[in-house]
Structure 1
């Protein structure tokens, strides 16, 4: 879970609101500064996860489109 080897959290196949709820719970269990890569297939996650990061004080480093979904790189605040 370091910058060299971030944790990949596979939430593909889950629909709203589960990607946000599970990401929030996973981030709460991690120390500040940890990088978490979240993979989703829910189209609403492209709106919901950035909003969650803003609300909870995490840094959204990048959002990438993948085959069938998105990959979010988040640094826990």
Structure 2
């Protein structure tokens, strides 16, 4: 596995969930975290790329990194 390891405060496993569930679960998880915390999200839905990037931009969060490996999308999202 060539996954880059970035520090994160919480992790969300949204693999196997279809749009819009990865986004909704990420929003719920972020609401529990303090500002500046990093949420690592794993998803298998290709639509999660579009959804999570748009959400981060509109909600004032920062997408630190995105990675795709073996059909799994990995995101590191810092809460704004």
TM-score by length of 2: 0.86
2:72 corresponds to? 69
RMSD: 1.3
2:3 corresponds to? none
Residue 4 to residue 63, structure 1, CA distance change in 2 (3 Å):
closer
Please, which runs of 5 or more residues in structure 2 have no aligned partner? 1-5
Partner residue of 1:30 out of 17, 30, 33 = 33
Please, which runs of 5 or more residues in structure 1 have no aligned partner? none
Aligned length: 75
Q: CA offset at residue 5 of structure 1?
A: 4.8
